[in-house]
A = this chain, B = another copy of it.
Amino acid sequence: MNSELVLSLDAMGGDHAPGIVVDGAAVFLKGRRRKVRLLFHGDEAQLGPLIEAHPELAGISEIRHSDSQVDMSAKPSEAVRRSRGSSMWNAVQAVRDGDAQVAVSAGNTGALMAISKVCLRMKAGVHRPAIAASWPVPKGFSTVLDVGANVECTPAQLVEFAIMGEAFHRAVHRQERPTVGLLNVGQEELKGNDVVRDADALIRAAGLDMNYRGYVEGDDISLGTTDVVVTDGFTGNVALKTAEGTARLVAGWMREALTSSIIAKIAASLLQLGALDQLRARMDPNNVNGGVFLGLNGVVVKSHGGTNAAGFATALRIALEMADSAFLNEIEKNLGLLEAAQERLATEQAPEGQQESA
């Protein structure tokens, strides 16, 4: 696919919008050869001068004016009712209308998800959307999903997440046959709850075209034991935030250690020249910014609300990788296998002809 790709940006979403959206787009474009166009949805009066300040945005940018924007504290249900015509709504609607391949917003997560569901609707064969996060591991990134869209999941929904996560990892992290694990706890007696156990059985029964490796535990995520880690949105969100908190705690200790004495300060100033910056870059959340909404008829990328231009550029890179991939078509085969397996299992469980869904 070498046709021109169009990214649709909610230019008013996020704590530091529209500045970081426009600056982020400029960072994103630097040295990029892939032909893209950008739709900026937002206040024309503000956006015009910002975009003009970046010559690299000239010619490939289009401003689509919107009068309103979604408040960071708006409830999702409110957002759906009241935000028609807002910059966020229009950014997603442009994907629905075929004007763009992917939408990106640093705005209110719940509102973005609600608007995305209304505008784009679920892809056939997927029951609930998931948010996929890229997670730093020793060699690159792993993919963790769901990190917050669904607090409760059925076994079949977890299998759908596995299917989408696998295709996402291939699209964004460029691995031909990613390995997939199901997040569980390790105590022998308590080998998971029923939902996780049933999801494991269903993946195996469905004969998916997938490199499935069974259960993984919490420490396996950061170790990168499998490329994709599947869990419900409650556990995934807690895990993601726990990792962020832990990284911050350790970084704080490191800072203390490097300023605890004269010798430590000398050492730190030596390190400042290179190694520490490299370490900081690895721990910088801006380098992993961009949760992707999967399962809709179209791709939406959620940037962290407090991100800076570099972080927004990362979200745009992820958006481009998704737009440039065959993600939406790729998941169809496995979704078909899953559906067939569920029908088969339902028939087996109801031999007297009763139709029950698994």
- Which A residues contact B (CB, under 8 angstroms)? 73, 75-77, 108-110, 113-114, 136-138, 148-152, 183, 185-190, 192-193, 217-223, 231, 233-235, 237-254, 256-258, 260-261, 263-264, 266-268, 270-271, 273-276, 278-279, 282-283
Contact = CB atoms under 8 A, between A and B. Distances in A.
Contacts of A254: 254, 279
A192 B151 CA distance: 7
Nearest to A279: B257
Contacts of A109: 187-188
A185 B271 contact: no
A276 B241 CA distance: 26
B267 A242 contact: no
Contacts of A188: 73, 75-76, 108-110
Given A77-B189, A218-B245, A219-B242, 4 more contacts: A217-B237, A250-B251, A253-B279, A257-B279
Contact of A239 (B77, B110, B223, B239): B239
A163 B275 CA distance: 46
A114 B189 contact: yes
Contacts of A250: 246-247, 250-251, 283
Nearest to A150: B190
22 contacts: A77-B189, A110-B189, A138-B249, A138-B252, A185-B234, A185-B238, A186-B237, A187-B237, A193-B234, A218-B240, A218-B241, A219-B245, A223-B248, A231-B238, A238-B239, A247-B250, A253-B283, A258-B271, A263-B271, A263-B275, A264-B274, A267-B268
